[in-house]
Amino acid sequence: MRQETVNIYKFREVDQGEHLYGDEYTETLKAFTAKLDLFDIVDYQYGGYNGADGAEIEWYNTDLSDLSGARLWKYLQKHYADIVAKGLEYSLTGFCADYDILKPLTDFMTRPDSTITFDDLIQKCLDAWVTAAVNDLEYGR
């Protein structure tokens, strides 16, 4: 006698304008801020969808805001060696947005730019995250 198991999953329709993977994007953002542990996100929105663009950032450590070039590269190398060593293979949550939010950081570590400050670099990471979330939302419409 053969016995078969059938899994039955509940599902629901996604409402118009609802972001199917919104929770995963939020978890990536939270993991990113927790990993760097230098700033807190005060508020964030997906572009114009919720009435604002980008992300507002509140910094804990203003001493790092203007750190740039080789000094910034050395700081990141010293304090975030695990991300630096694995590059884009590093995973915050296992969701695809990890790649997007970390790419500006890993790009900088590969090719440091003396004109980019710590603030600029974090803003690039957050902008990449917002862009990925908006693109995903647009694709799902």
Is the sign of the CA dihedral 135, 126, 40, 94 positive or negative? positive
The pLDDT tens digits for 68-113 are: 999 999 999 999 888 878 878 888 999 999 999 999 999 999 999 9
4 CB contacts (<8 Å, ≥6 apart)? none
**pLDDT number for residue 3:** 84
Q: Work out the percent of the chain whose per-residue pLDDT is above 70.
A: 74
40 versus 70: which is more confidently predicted?
70
* Residue 30 φ/ψ, nearest 5 degrees: -65, -40
Using the predicted structure, report yes or no on whether residue 14 has a pLDDT greater than 60.
no
Mean pLDDT, the chain, rounded, equals 80
The reported pTM is: 0.77
Give the DSSP per-residue string, 54-110.
SEEEEES-GGGTT-BHHHHHHHHHHH-HHHHHHGGG--SSSSTHHHHHHHHHHHHHH
